Amino acid sequence: MELPVPKTISPMLAKPAAGIPEGDYAYEPKWDGFRAMVYREGGNVEILSRNGRSLNRYFPELSEAFLHGLPEECVVDGEIILISRDGSRLDFDALQQRIHPAGSRVSLLADQTPASFVAFDLLALDGTDVTGEPFRRRRENLVSAVGKAGGRLHLTRQTLDAGTAREWFRRFEGAGLDGVVAKPLEGRYEPGKRAMTKVKHRRTADCVVAGYRVHKSGADRIGSLLLGLYDAAGNLANVGVLGAFPMARRAELFDELQPLVTWDPAHPWSTAGPEPGTRTPRSSEGSRWTGSKDLSFTPLRPERVVEVAYDHMEGHRFRHPPSFLRWRPDRDPASCGYGQLEEPVRYELGDVLLEPAQTGKP
């Protein structure tokens, strides 16, 4: 039987909001992994990324899990996640390592750091397209289809209470989750549309600007600023980049920063390098994730401080690119360390994942 939902369909998206909305919504944790659409047709399974690329070769353990745990004819929307070795939180860095070009490495990682899948919507079941049905009914069918699968397949936790969702927003970050998603209970599945609402954490940090990369449009425009924070040993670690500037501002920044350009080998991100284990832009220049992209940079004397907004950290770096707030000429760069960052309350990931026997639990 041919599935009624085409494999070219785009996943439904979410628009950002400052707070958790109240009303006729279902609230779910926002998982931090790879969005994936899973198509099962009898003995065939295809796992597609949000841009339509096949992920089967990278996650063979999930292909097997879908054959054992999903109905024979279905299309499920969800997130591929990787749980840390101690089981306490999500590990996005380890998940990224799973996308490897070498088949032998893929097999090794599938055994050493296996992934899991969290299902949160249903597009087709038993040959029927259910995208036009309200989410309330799709959720009921999803519970019936996936709720008892177990193993590497999980059903996302859900509540209809906004107060509980606010508590989740506060607690679940400690397990590596991204925030909360609100879904209209009567809403249909709208491919490619921002028909849901997402609420993510927003924090601020003062960072040292210690380098830049030029923009692809020209060598006289800033492409991104390289941000650093000092660790407890006094090493300046690269924590991310700041790159969302209007084109005119990119040219102005380039001129403003030229007096700070330095090729001093004593620069903390020089080729001589800091202490082993400290992440710098130099250590990323040969990354397989960037392909042929030019990651060379121009070092700056670490004298300027910028305040940025960010959602959360992944290890020692910003999980997503931060946004510019303001320059901080009043801040001493040497005072910009990890100690200023807010630490989320620790929360065990096992208490977030909904186990098969708990499908009725909020």
Active site residues: 30
Q: Are 208 and 269 in contact (CB under 8 A)?
A: no
Q: Outline where DSSP puts E strands in 109-176.
A: 116-125, 128-129, 153-155
Q: What DSSP designation does 11 have?
A: P
Q: Which amino acid is at 225?
A: L
State the virtual CA torsion across 212, 215, 216, 219 in degrees, nearest 10.
Answer: -90
Nearest to 50 by CA among 33, 35, 62: 35
Terminal CA-CA length for the chain: 35
Q: Which tokens hold the place of 5?
A: 């939902």
* Separation of CA 301 from chain center: 31
The Cα 344–Cα 347 span in angstroms is 9
Count the alpha carbons within 13 Å of 333 in the hemisphere toward its beta carbon. 17
Contacts with 12 (C-beta within 8 Å, 6 or more apart), sequence order: 77, 121, 189, 190, 191, 192, 193, 195, 196
Nearest to 42 by CA among 17, 78, 66: 66
Strand 116-125 and strand 153-155: pairing? Answer: parallel
The Cα 294–Cα 213 span in angstroms is 9
The Cα 180–Cα 320 span in angstroms is 16
The Cα 140–Cα 165 span in angstroms is 20
Nearest to 77 by CA among 40, 32, 119, 34: 119
The Cα 4–Cα 126 span in angstroms is 9
